[in-house]
Chain A
C-alpha cells in the first residue's frame, strides 16, 4: 500500500490555515462559514486521508472546504427561509465579497464554483497551474481550461462594468 505523507497539523495551521480560510471566504463569500468548513476539511483529511499522496494540501483543503461551506450556506439559507416564514430575522450574513472592488465582486460572483476556486488559488495563494493540478488530482490541462474560461468571463464582465461607468 502506498505510504501517505503525514500532515503536520501545527505547521499547516500556522502557515496555511489563515490563508486557506481567507481563500474559502472569498470563494463562498462568508468568512465564518469558511473557518468552520476548513476545520471540517482538516478533520476529514486527518480521519480519512485521501487515497493518494498530496503535496499541495492547501489546494485540496481549500476545494473541500469551499464545497463544504457551500453546503453549509445552503442549509442556512433553507433555515433562514423557514425562520422568515415564522417572522424571525436571520442576521448571520457576513459577506466577505463586500470588501472587494464592486466591479471585481460582481464579476467573480458570476463564475461557477470551480472557476472561483482556481482563480482564488492562483491569484490569492499564488499557486501555479501545476501545483493546483497536483493538489486537486486533475491534469494541468483541466486547470488551464478552467483558468482560461474564468479569465475570459471576468474580462468580459469587467469590460461591461467599465462601460456602465
Chain B
C-alpha cells in the first residue's frame, strides 16, 4: 500500500470493489413505470440534491467582480484627488510682430515652456543718463608764478566731473594773450606750458573744463608776473 499514491490507491480499491449491476430488462421496467405515471425521484432546482447549499452562491463571484472594480475606481479617484497638483505653468504670451499670431494663444501644458527668443528678450539697456553736473576745477597752479628770465610757466589744473571731463582749455591775457588745450597727465590733472618771452606785467591765466555733455565749468584763474630779465 505504501508504494501507491493516494489517488492510485483510491482508484484501484474502488474499481476492484465495484461490481457492475446487470442491466437486462431495466430499460423496459423503467419505461413501464413512466408509462404508469410513476414520478420516481422528483428534483427541483438546477443543482443536484444536497449540493445546492455547498459552495458559494451563483451571485457571489459577480458581486466580488463588481466590488473589485468599484474599489479600483475609488482608489484611482482618491489618488487623483489627493495627489499634489503641479502648479500651472505660467506662460507669458507677448504679441509678436508677425500678424499670423493667433488672437487667443493656447499655452502648452508643459511645466517649463520654452518661449521663443522674441517673446522674453530683455529690453535693451537704457543709455546712460547725461551728466547733470557741470565740471569743477578744483585747483589751478602756475609754476613758477613769477617769471624772469624763464621762457614761461607751467599751468596745472585739477578738474573733475560726475561723469567725465572731456577737456580743459587754458587762455591767458597780459603782455601777450592766447589759448591752448591742456594735456591730461594722469587722473584729473591737466597741464600746459605757457610761453612768456616778451614784455613785463601780469599774465592772467584762465582755465575752463568741458565734460562729455558739453557743459563748461566755472572759470578758474591764476596770475603770473613777468619781470624784466636781468643778466
Contacts and interface: CB of A to CB of B under 8 A. Distances in A.
A157 to B, nearest CB: 11
A27 to B, nearest CB: 10
Contacts of B15: 123-124
Given A114-B51, A138-B51, A44 B21 contact: no
Interface stretch (B37-45, B151-159, B209-217): B37-45
B30 A42 contact: yes
B13 interface: yes
Contact of B7 (A40, A97, A123): A123
Interface in A41-68: 41-48, 50-52, 59-60, 63-65, 67-68
Q: How large is the interface on B (under 10, 10 to 19, 20 to 34, 35 or more residues)?
A: 35 or more
Contact of B41 (A44, A139, A151, A158): A44
A158 B6 contact: yes
Which DSSP category, helix, strand, loop or mixed, fits chain B's interface?
loop
Contacts of A67: 41, 49-50
B30 A41 contact: no
Nearest to A98: B17
B54 A138 contact: yes
Interface of B: 1-2, 6-7, 9-11, 13-23, 26-27, 29-31, 33-34, 38-52, 54-56
Interface of A: 9-10, 13-14, 17-19, 21-23, 25-26, 31, 34-35, 37-48, 50-52, 59-60, 63-65, 67-68, 96-97, 99-101, 103-104, 113-114, 117, 119-120, 123-124, 126, 135-139, 141-142, 145-146, 151, 154-155, 158, 162
26 contacts: A13-B23, A13-B27, A22-B20, A22-B21, A25-B18, A35-B21, A39-B26, A39-B33, A40-B40, A40-B41, A47-B38, A48-B39, A63-B48, A63-B51, A64-B49, A65-B41, A97-B17, A99-B17, A99-B19, A120-B14, A137-B46, A138-B47, A141-B56, A142-B51, A158-B1, A158-B6
Given A137-B47, A142-B54, A142-B56, 4 more contacts: A39-B29, A39-B30, A123-B7, A151-B6
